Structure 1
């Protein structure tokens, strides 16, 4: 079985919402969600980026987002910002769950590529601590150093809402990622400090001007952990060819997002049958980036999956579909894990 390193999952949010059941959810699997240890083992999931994401409070009378996103066109408003004092306890709780997972002996929180390789060789899940949005960091960046000491090695300045550091794209279809201003002055300092600490800066959810600011400031490869091709599905969350060209020029990487809403040509969220949307995005990304700069970024436990994938146990079905599409094992291994290891070596300076 070809192992998979995955660019994004939201499993820690499931534990945050049901902490009293975390042993059952993680170690045994209760049939809910898209990830757990037994299904990871069955699917060849060797490791990936475990996201710390601070949920937006749900406003009374909020729209049914699932229904709206299944009836394009749509344009959902950006949620309100969340300040660091509110976000930090949530981030600490989620990191605590990840460290508990490590204490079970089934997972390793990895701070370098050699630790990733060792965990994979030993049969433990290789976890990279990632922040999806920098709400738990203030402009003094003291908390950035705290989280780095706790193992943070990848950070997106924004989710799809504004922060002190920049502006996320709204969920809009059809739409361009050019949706507002770029990084704030504090955001530019954050990117520079992440470069110094060798924390990977994730471009997913960032708007086009913010993307350009990171490209101008950063001395590291440009990476979007879970994004797709705007030329195939014109969602604000997907990357234009110009952005893909910038990532290629930096020797970076894009992780293919499995979320139906970013794969479907019509922007619908409902699960679809067949492999064609996935293959169209992969073909386009490989054509634009080259076969050494594309990986997987599933968004497991954070998105609706195509029917043929379903959950993490469906990864072997994806691998089989890629073979049938004409990808050889050398290319599939790059997409599945080798490209992630290589770009992390470049970003982390190993």
Structure 2
């Protein structure tokens, strides 16, 4: 049976490929598979993934094994990483953007870097993987915003102003459980300027890692539909990274979208990062998100290669198992298609235009 097509709102495969340390930047590993992780081209085809937002994320020096271990506890408050130097973030971001462009060039048409919904649709029809460049945490962009325009020319179409650490633009929600997302101040003046410039360029503003004050600043300032590419329901999992019902209502009212995060710590009632998490937890979050947002404003935002996902899903090739679990839970075919890809393309069209 042909798997249901899927467009995914978030993955971290570019970071994983960079960290392989291979001379070609991990290009062959992505195109041919066999290098671990959650996502490569052969497994994407097996699972039905035809496109998504490919994040360039610069990790903090404090991240590592201890970071994941902390999130397996009954409650935790992971120390907030220090801000990143501009030069370090720019070097890492350019390296990951270059990996994506090198993958496209080496793929002989199997991968396409997309800058519009028309590009995504053409790639889908051609059987190519549609990759949209996203930046998770805008440390590579200085307050003068010059780098934003250069990256836009390179294909950037989606941007999260912060990751879960402070930067010149604002403050991220920490990895804290249980916790409200109402932690710290909102956007700086540079952050407000970034929102205005992203609106002007029609770049998606990803709210997934912003604290609550920053979220409401974007909601007040931006004219575009609000989008959280990889976030879940705080009402079910009271993690600082998840969205309250009031935030979900605001996203709904702008015609925006929330992508379900597959990371288990944002799915489980106990907030733990554990692979022994049933797929039903994902269905429950989707049910809640649909109840607040409506069926046209929810999608997938897997966080593949950036988190621990349910063992039953395992990797991108397991997407048909998730779809079947959702079908068994009670979602009909029209709803599944909207969740899997139609809603994402619709909201991108509302933000980017045709």
Q: Indicate the TM-score class for this superposition, using the shorter chain for normalisation.
A: over 0.9
Cα shift at 1:274: 2.4
- Secondary structure at the residue paired with 1:20? coil
Written as runs of structure 1 = structure 2, the 5 A alignment for 1:302-317 is 302-317=306-321
Written as runs of structure 1 = structure 2, the 5 A alignment for 1:32-51 is 32-51=36-55
The reply on whether 1:226 has 2:210 as its aligned counterpart is: no
The reply on whether 1:142 has 2:146 as its aligned counterpart is: yes
> Partners in 2 of 1:216 and 1:165 — Cα distance?
16
| Pick aligned residue for 2:23 from 3, 20, 23 | 20
Written as runs of structure 1 = structure 2, the 5 A alignment for 1:160-309 is 160-309=164-313
> Partners in 2 of 1:87 and 1:165 — Cα distance?
14
In structure 1, the partner of 2:98 is: 96
> Partners in 1 of 2:181 and 2:161 — Cα distance?
16
In structure 2, the partner of 1:114 is: 118
Deviations 1:263-313 (CA, angstroms, capped at 9, x unpaired): 011011111242221111010000000000000000000000101111000
- Secondary structure at the residue paired with 1:214? helix
The reply on whether 1:331 has 2:335 as its aligned counterpart is: yes
> Partners in 1 of 2:72 and 2:344 — Cα distance?
32
In structure 1, the partner of 2:5 is: 3
TM-score, normalization by structure 2:
0.96
> Partners in 2 of 1:164 and 1:107 — Cα distance?
34
Cα shift at 1:63: 7.6
| Pick aligned residue for 2:137 from 127, 133, 136 | 133
In structure 1, the partner of 2:66 is: 64
> Partners in 1 of 2:317 and 2:168 — Cα distance?
38
Deviations 1:231-278 (CA, angstroms, capped at 9, x unpaired): 000000100000000000000000000000100110111112422211
**Is the contact between residue 24 and residue 30 of structure 1 (CA under 8 Å) also seen in structure 2?**
no
> Partners in 2 of 1:196 and 1:218 — Cα distance?
10
**Is the contact between residue 128 and residue 153 of structure 1 (CA under 8 Å) also seen in structure 2?**
yes
In structure 2, the partner of 1:152 is: 156
> Partners in 2 of 1:328 and 1:348 — Cα distance?
29
Deviations 1:145-177 (CA, angstroms, capped at 9, x unpaired): 000000000000000000100100110000010
TM-aligned CA distance change 1:273 to 1:163, over 3 Å: closer
- Secondary structure at the residue paired with 1:48? strand
- Secondary structure at the residue paired with 2:53? strand
Deviations 1:214-243 (CA, angstroms, capped at 9, x unpaired): 000000000000000000000001000000
Cα shift at 1:84: 1.6
The 10-residue stretch of structure 1 (66-75 or 212-221) with the greater mean CA deviation from structure 2: 66-75
TM-score, normalization by structure 1:
0.97
Deviations 1:106-139 (CA, angstroms, capped at 9, x unpaired): 2111110000000011011001100000000000
> Partners in 2 of 1:349 and 1:151 — Cα distance?
15
Q: What CA RMSD, in Å, does the superposition of the two structures yield over aligned residues?
A: 1.2
> Partners in 2 of 1:119 and 1:235 — Cα distance?
36
In structure 2, the partner of 1:85 is: 87
> Partners in 2 of 1:223 and 1:47 — Cα distance?
17
